[in-house]
Amino acid sequence: MGNLNDGVKSRTYDAIVIGSGMSGGWAAKELCEKGLKTLVLERGRDVVHLKDYPTTNMQPWEFEHRGQIPEAIQEANPVVSRCYAFREDAMQFFVKDTEHPYVQDKPFDWIRGYQVGGKSLLWARQTQRWSDFDYEGPARDGFSVDWPIRYKDISPWYSYVEKFAGISGNKDGLDVLPDGEFLPALELSCVENYFKDFIAKNYKDRHVIYARCAHLTEPKQIHLDQGRGQCQNRNLCQRGCPFGGYFAANSTTIPWALKTGNMTLRPFSVVHSIIYDEKKGKASGVRVVDANSKEVIDYYARIIFVNAAAINTNLILLNSKSNRFPNGLGNDSGILGKYFAFHNYRGHISAEYEGFMDSTTAGGRPTSAYIPRFRNVHKQETDFLRGYAAGFYSGRFSFPKAEGFGTTLKDNLAKKDPGPWRVGSHMMGETIPKETNFLSLDSNKKDEWGVPLIKFSVDYDENDNKMVKDFSDQLTEMYTKAGFTNIKTNDSNQAPGLDIHEMGGARMGKDPKTSMLNKWNQMHACENVFVTDGACMTSTSTQNPSLTYMALTARACDYAVNQMKKNEL
Ligand SMILES: Cc1cc2nc3c(=O)[nH]c(=O)nc-3n(C[C@H](O)[C@H](O)[C@H](O)COP(=O)(O)OP(=O)(O)OC[C@H]3O[C@@H](n4cnc5c(N)ncnc54)[C@H](O)[C@@H]3O)c2cc1C
């Protein structure tokens, strides 16, 4: 395969990283820093920090549709249009449904960013650590399989990635949400502070805190060395930040890896599969289809990191078939693609608060408040397993009435009555990985690069439904007690996927019969392949997962390079 005239040597590296987003960026940085000549394969185009953020300094009136997505685009792309961040200012960083179709046995809203930086350009930057209530969860509550690691194994790696990425937060001292290496937190609004104090006084097991987020509130030397500066609270993050105020691979890990001189970044490289060498009993490289020319090229390396984001990682592994692995690379157990899970974001609540009428602004913060999980933490107390966290936000915003003509219209538009404070929360529920929630390859349909389409058979279950109801009940109680009025709850009944926290399919575990990866994210059955994106996750917790992918990636890179030095890999 490939261009046979092009020497194998020139296509051979120490390491290959598949995907250049949140986790792939970390793999690139770590491996390059440790001296490995590393090829980073990215299916999309390059997005160079600063240069490729065309909308970053645009004013609202400079957008043709004032920030909205035109109806024709929405109709043609119903899935991505359901994502709150798919707006005119960031449209260029999202995959449109029409560009990359997939198969939905059951509805799944798959939100993607195919470019250097992946979805790290677009994320909401919420970065909560997981705790032992998460790592011990499956063993304690009897679902999935036992994680092969505990909090103590990953805690130093959380610290490691937090210091480099820059995370703002308070030391809250909560066992359910361990503290990290924080830059100063921003302030909560008066209503958020009121609710925080109220909950602290009235519930001993519930807390409202400042949500930890990947923003440079007070850059340290390491951030200045990255060429990044203080977050300006512009709240235009999804456009790409000219200050590097938030963590994105484009501003942070990718340029850092480039600076080492060890990284070769190859955009427009669609990874088709991983090549398995039967004689060596290892993966020898990666098969790529050039996105533009469609040329098939093989690249070789001693180790391979798979970081294509959970779903595409499952796809690549399922498509990596050989005599040894007819059902996908490393898939002796037959579980590849199975036990796929996500976060349950269906529950919403909103209300009003009559107080603080002398204050009008919640500030332009890039984050809000956070209610860590409080259900079933220390013991099982409900008829569903696990629990949920919730956001908490507030603001006074009512839109001027665009009513009347002439002077009346002008007068109406000029009236500034922000109305009462409005508050709201959304749930972030843990879902239970199950064999019946799985990804597979469609046996007939392929994309234009000859790669089979992925098929989703993923759904909610009774546990999720009960959790939505409990969220509504508990939050209603907390809101009511706090004196909030006009409380409205809503089950969006949205399809899985909009949470954009896809996890599993190639889970970690102790036993090769029931898991794909060991405690170092290394494939049980093909030891020079590492998976450190969401595909590796054994369970889903309630916390946003990307910080954990970053920490697992840095930890696995450290292990892999040490093993290489010992000639064990
Ligand atoms: C609007 C939004 C808000 C979010 N908010 C949060 C949040 O607050 N907190 C949080 O923790 N997470 C959040 N997320 C999720 C977060 O973005 C993802 O968890 C994270 O980006 C996953 O990292 P990754 O490296 O696995 O994937 P990505 O960052 O998506 O990177 C994967 C890369 O692999 C490339 N790729 C895919 N297939 C191939 C292939 N076959 N060949 C070559 N390259 C390939 C892609 O083009 C992409 O560049 C949010 C996401 C979105 C979109």
For helices 546-565 and 151-165, the axis angle rounded to 10 degrees is 100
6: pLDDT confidence band, cut at 50, 70 and 90? low
Q: Indicate the SS3 state at residue 491.
A: strand
β-strand pairing of 421-430 with 347-353 = antiparallel
> Which numbered atom of ligand 1 lies nearest the CA of 25?
25
- Residue type at 403? E
Q: 534 in ligand 1 pocket by Cβ < 6 Å?
A: yes
Considering the domain architecture, whether residues 201 and 67 belong to the same structural domain is answered as no
Q: Using the atom order of ligand 1, give the atom closest to the CA of residue 19.
A: 34
Lowest-pLDDT choice from 241-245, 414-418, 537-541: 414-418
Ligand 1 atom having least distance to the Cα of 117: 49
219 lines ligand 1 (CB under 6 A): no
Nearest to 281 by CA among 79, 529, 82: 529
The preferred substitution site among 16, 22, 126, 306 for testing ligand 1, maximizing ligand atoms within 8 Å of CB, is 22
Q: Decide if 227 is inside a domain.
A: no
Claim to verify: residue 198 and residue 273 sit in the same structural domain = no
Among 39, 40, 119, the mutation site with the greatest number of ligand 1 atoms within 8 A of its Cβ is: 119
Query: Which of 469, 495, 521 is the last residue before a domain boundary?
Result: 495
Residue 310 CA to ligand 1 center (angstroms) comes to 8
C-alpha 507 – ligand 1 centre gap (Å): 18
Checking if the pLDDT of 3 tops 80, the result is no
Q: How does 314-343 read in b/e, with b if 16+ C-beta sit within 10 Å? A: bbbbbbbbbeebeebbbbbbebbbbbbbbb
Total count of domains within the chain? 2
8 and 99 co-located in one domain: yes
Closest CA to 391 of 274, 306, 505, 471: 471
The enclosing domain of 563 has a CATH number of 3.50.50.60
* Residue-level pLDDT at 458: 98
Shortest-distance atom of ligand 1 to CA 269: 43
Residue type at 535 in one-letter notation: A
The answer on 508 and 467 residing in a single domain is: no
Instruction: Report the share of the chain in percent with pLDDT over 90.
Output: 93
Residue whose Cα lies nearest atom 2 of ligand 1: it is 123
Whether residue 448 is found in the same domain as residue 474:
no
Nearest to 386, CA basis, from 343, 338, 436, 347: 343
CA of 397 to the centre of ligand 1 (A): 31
Which residue type occupies 435?
E
Instruction: Report the nearest-CA residue for atom 27 of ligand 1.
Output: 309
More confident residue, 327 or 367: 327
Q: Are residues 516 and 413 in the same domain?
A: no
451-485 residue pLDDT tens: 999 999 999 999 999 999 999 999 999 999 999 99
Q: Does a structural domain hold residue 152?
A: yes
Does 237 reside within a domain? no
Is position 78 within any domain?
yes
pLDDT of residue 1 exceeding 50: no
pLDDT score of 402: 80
pLDDT at residue 297 tops 50: yes
User: Tokens 């997505």 appear where?
Assistant: 69
Q: Residue 315 in contact with residue 451, Cβ under 8 Å?
A: yes
Mean pLDDT over 213-222 rounds to 98
308 CB near ligand 1 (under 6 Å): yes
Domain boundary among 495, 519, 541: 495
Q: Which two tokens stand for residue 216?
A: 């440079």
| pLDDT above 80 (res 401) | no
User: What is the chain's mean pLDDT, rounded?
Assistant: 96
Residues of the domain holding 365: 174-211+344-430+460-495
Residue 69 belongs to a domain: yes
Spatial contact of 507 and 527, defined as CB atoms under 8 Å apart: no
Whether 416 shows a pLDDT value over 60: the answer reads: yes
Distance CA 163, CA 159 (A): 6
60/2 same-domain check: yes
Using one digit for the tens of pLDDT, what is the confidence trace for 340-379? 999 999 999 999 999 999 998 766 788 899 999 999 999 9
Whether the pLDDT of residue 194 is over 70: the answer is yes
Place of tokens 């595909």: 535
pLDDT tens track for 249-281:
999 999 999 999 999 999 999 999 999 999 999
Per-residue confidence (pLDDT) for residue 403, from 0 to 100: 86
Give yes or no: residues 95 and 23 share one domain. Answer: yes
Distance (Å, rounded) from C-alpha 88 to C-alpha 238? 11
What's the token pair of residue 211?
């949500």
> Do 513 and 400 belong to one domain?
no
State the pLDDT at residue 398.
73
**Mean pLDDT computed over 41-54:** 98
Domain termination site, one of 495, 519, 539: 495
pLDDT of residue 363: 67
The mean pLDDT value for 319-348 works out to: 98
Give DSSP secondary structure letters for 138-206.
Answer: HHHHT-S---S--HHHHHHHHHHHHHHH-EE-----BTTB---SEEPP-PPPHHHHHHHHHHHHH-SS-
Token readout for 491 is 């089950």
What mean pLDDT comes out for the span 5-32?
94
Q: What are phi and psi of 491, to 5 degrees?
A: -100, 110
Residue 57 inside a domain? The answer is yes
Look up residue 127 and give its two tokens: 């970065």
Are 451 and 476 part of one and the same domain? no
Residues 106 and 251 in one domain: yes
The predicted model gives 320-332 an average pLDDT of 98
* Residue whose C-alpha is closest to residue 342's, from 474, 214, 457: 457
Confidence of residue 2 (pLDDT cuts 50, 70, 90): very low
Is the residue at 369 inside a domain? yes
The percent of residues above 70 in pLDDT, for the chain, comes to 99
Instruction: Output phi, psi for 29, to 5 deg.
Output: -60, -50
What dihedral do alpha carbons 320, 453, 309, 263 form, nearest 10°?
Answer: 60
Question: What is the CA(114)–ligand 1 centre distance, in A?
Answer: 9
Distance CA 169, CA 246 (A): 14
- Going from the Cα of 359 to the center of ligand 1, the distance in angstroms, rounded, reads 38
Cα–Cα distance measured from residue 35 to residue 199, given in angstroms and rounded to the nearest whole number: 50
The pLDDT value recorded for residue 50 is 97
3-state SS assignment for residue 39: strand
CB-based burial, 33-47: b 16+ in 10 Å, e otherwise: bbebbbbbbbbbebb
Q: Which token pair is 220? A: 């340290």
What pLDDT score does 362 carry? 62
Least Cα distance to 536 among 373, 344, 330 occurs for: 330
Pairing of strands 438-446, 452-457: antiparallel
In-domain check, residue 24 = yes
**29 and 160, same domain (yes or no):** yes
The whole-number average pLDDT for the span 106-127 is 98
What pLDDT score does 244 carry? 98
